[in-house]
Amino acid sequence: MDWLEAIILGIIQGLTEFLPVSSSGHLEIAKYILGDTSLPEESLLMTVVLHAATALSTIVVFRKDLLEIFIGLFQFKWNEQTKFSLKIIISMIPAGVIGVFFNDEIESLFGGRLLLVGSMLIVTAVLLLLADRAKTTNKSVGYWHSVIIGISQAIAIIPGISRSGATISTSVILGIDRSKAARFSFLMVVPLILGAMAKDLMSGEIHYTPDLLIPLSTGFISALLTGILACTWMISLVKKAKLSWFAGYCFIVGTIAIIYTFLI
């Protein structure tokens, strides 16, 4: 793995983590076409580093929101910040349960299942189209909303279903304000990313050598910068109801992936 490969991987991760096109789906397509050993994403250490970069990019974009949440929590009062934090925790439960109890089943979904990825990209496209046609409201995220959005996040573990696309679309279809839907969707993933990083770090399977310093650094920086741009851009697009742009993209890529499966 050289620095150029790391930069490319970082850009892919940074963009697709926030844009509703499925990062796991794109990586699975790339692995299928290029071969399992062609992508440095196979390195667990690189995966942890890139996840750290995208988590940090979310923190940078929503730094004011997070500061308000932490201040509210440290005041030990039942206020809006406390309620919002509780909703975030509730939304994490479905994905957390699946990650803990169905880890082997999840891993079996990855590894060159191009037909599955293509089909799920089309499902993502349908969700995005439905969200773009939903009525605009000023409704905030409620407790039951956070449960349903959390379930959609858990389903998005399947490669090909975009996490941001699924959670934002679900929120908007439930009638939640578009800006609040994007904010909740991006903030709810930070604890899960940090949890996944902690799990990987404690697995004992990470190996570091000095020659990885430059690839890891360049990958981190490229993922961080593209993540900040993608996150900011995505918020703007959700407000303007422009998710159909990505719906068309997901439909085209999903269809190509399905056709490619039957031709090869």
Mean pLDDT of 151-163: 89
State the pLDDT confidence band at 106, using cuts at 50, 70 and 90. Answer: confident
pLDDT at 40: 42
Cα–Cα dist 80/102, whole Å: 34
Average pLDDT for the chain: 83
Assign 139 to helix, strand or coil: strand
Total structural domains in the chain?
1
**Which one has a higher pLDDT value, 250 or 213?**
250
pTM score, two decimals? 0.83
- Interhelix angle 44-61/63-74, rounded to 10 degrees, is 80
Q: Is the pLDDT of residue 259 over 70?
A: yes
Enclosing H/E stretch for 113: none
* 45-102 per-position pLDDT tens digit: 777 888 889 889 999 999 988 888 888 777 777 788 889 989 999 999 998 888 778 7
Confidence of residue 157 (pLDDT cuts 50, 70, 90): confident
Domain that holds residue 213: 3-263
Q: What pLDDT shows up at residue 44? A: 64
* Arithmetic mean of pLDDT, 115-124: 91
Could you give the CA distance from residue 89 to residue 102 in angstroms, rounded to a whole number? 20
8 has a pLDDT exceeding 90: no
